[in-house]
Amino acid sequence: MSTWKYGMIKVAEDHGEDVCELVELYPPFADNESPSYTRPFLTSLRCLQMALKDVERDGINTWFWENGTFSWNQNEYFWDWKPNKASEKNEY
């Protein structure tokens, strides 16, 4: 099992258009956990190329959008996510 990959996740909608954020995606570490994400760590051209490859392969990830609620964290300048109470564990 892969430990992580880059992903483009849907975090909002604006005038009917998807608003997305580039992140590092992590699989659930236990059966009762949801996948997670963090701010991407892009330190080289190679990292940027890996991110492009992952996003081109997987497309826009809507799992978090469909299974929770995003809010903008003013202190972190990044998106917080809270899972729905009944969110099912799916492939991220």
| Residue 91 is assigned to a structural domain of this protein | no
**Which amino acid would we find at residue 51?**
A
Looking at residue 42, what DSSP letter applies?
Answer: -
The whole-model pTM stands at: 0.84
Q: Which domain holds residue 25?
A: 5-83
Q: What is the pLDDT of residues 30-83, one digit of tens each?
A: 777 889 999 999 999 999 999 999 999 999 999 999 999 999 999 999 999 999
| Residue 69 is assigned to a structural domain of this protein | yes
| Residue 12 is assigned to a structural domain of this protein | yes
User: What does the alpha-carbon distance between residue 37 and residue 10 come to, in Å, rounded to a whole number?
Assistant: 12
- What are the Cα distances from residue 28, in Å, to 1, 25, 36, 56, 77? 11, 10, 7, 22, 24
Number of domains the chain contains: 1
Angle at 78 between CA 56 and CA 33, to 5 degrees: 75
| Residue 68 is assigned to a structural domain of this protein | yes
pLDDT number for residue 29? 78
| Residue 41 is assigned to a structural domain of this protein | yes
| Residue 88 is assigned to a structural domain of this protein | no
Nearest by Cα to 65 from 39, 34, 30, 28: 34
| Residue 72 is assigned to a structural domain of this protein | yes
